[in-house]
Amino acid sequence: MSELTYVRVHEASPELLFDCLTTPSHLAHFWGPKGMVTPVANIVVDLRVGGAFETTMVNESDGSTHTMRATYAEIRRPDRLVWVEPDVQGGMVTTVTLTDLGDGRTEVVTHQTNVPAAYLSAQARAGFETSLDRFDAHLATITR
């Protein structure tokens, strides 16, 4: 199993970013790669250690779905969020660390461990990047 790390600087406070990452009405705007949608009704956020974090993305072209089921392992608003996906072989762990840069921007580091081979492809990583782009676009609409 391998690891992946994504680093992005967003024009928003850690508090706002944390809320976007933990609120279904925000997640629905950016969760998943380009070409996928995640309706609010397909998102479960039970924001407590041991609580469920589940999303079902729908492919816009063929209607196929992909469900992610995770459990929150650590919640420290506004700077850290950790969830574990037990259904992914080896139990993939995603750790999101938010660092206030002191100028209205926040560095967000998404670190994943026990990443299955399918998620390591250039195509999968590019898809994840499109989700981060969608996150930026959503932030622009709520921070204006």
Provide mean pLDDT across the span 6-27. Answer: 97
Q: Which residues contact 99 (CB under 8 A, 6 or more apart)?
A: 14, 79, 106, 107, 108, 109
Using one digit for the tens of pLDDT, what is the confidence trace for 37-76?
999 999 999 999 999 999 999 999 999 999 999 999 999 9
Q: Which residues contact 63 (CB under 8 A, 6 or more apart)?
A: none
Angstrom distance (rounded) from CA 62 to CA 69: 22
Confidence band (pLDDT; 50, 70, 90) for 88? confident
Which of the four pLDDT bands, split at 50, 70 and 90, describes residue 143? confident
Q: How confident is the model at residue 1 (pLDDT cuts 50, 70, 90)?
A: low
Could you give the percent of the chain with pLDDT greater than 90? 92
- AA letter at 112: Q
What would the mean pLDDT of 117-141 be, rounded to a whole number?
93
Instruction: Tell me the two tokens of residue 11.
Output: 């024009």
Give residue 65's domain range.
2-143
What CATH number did the domain enclosing 44 receive? 3.30.530.20
Note whether 58 and 32 are within 8 A (CB).
no
Split into its structural domains, the chain has a count of 1
> For the ranges 23-32, 33-42, 58-67, 115-124, which has the lowest average pLDDT?
115-124
What would the mean pLDDT of 33-39 be, rounded to a whole number? 96
Residue type, 119: Y
Average pLDDT of the residues of the chain: 95
Residues of the chain above pLDDT 70, percent: 99
Tokens at 101, concatenated: 């840069």
pTM for this entry: 0.94
Query: Quick check: 102 and 43 in contact, CB under 8 A?
Result: no
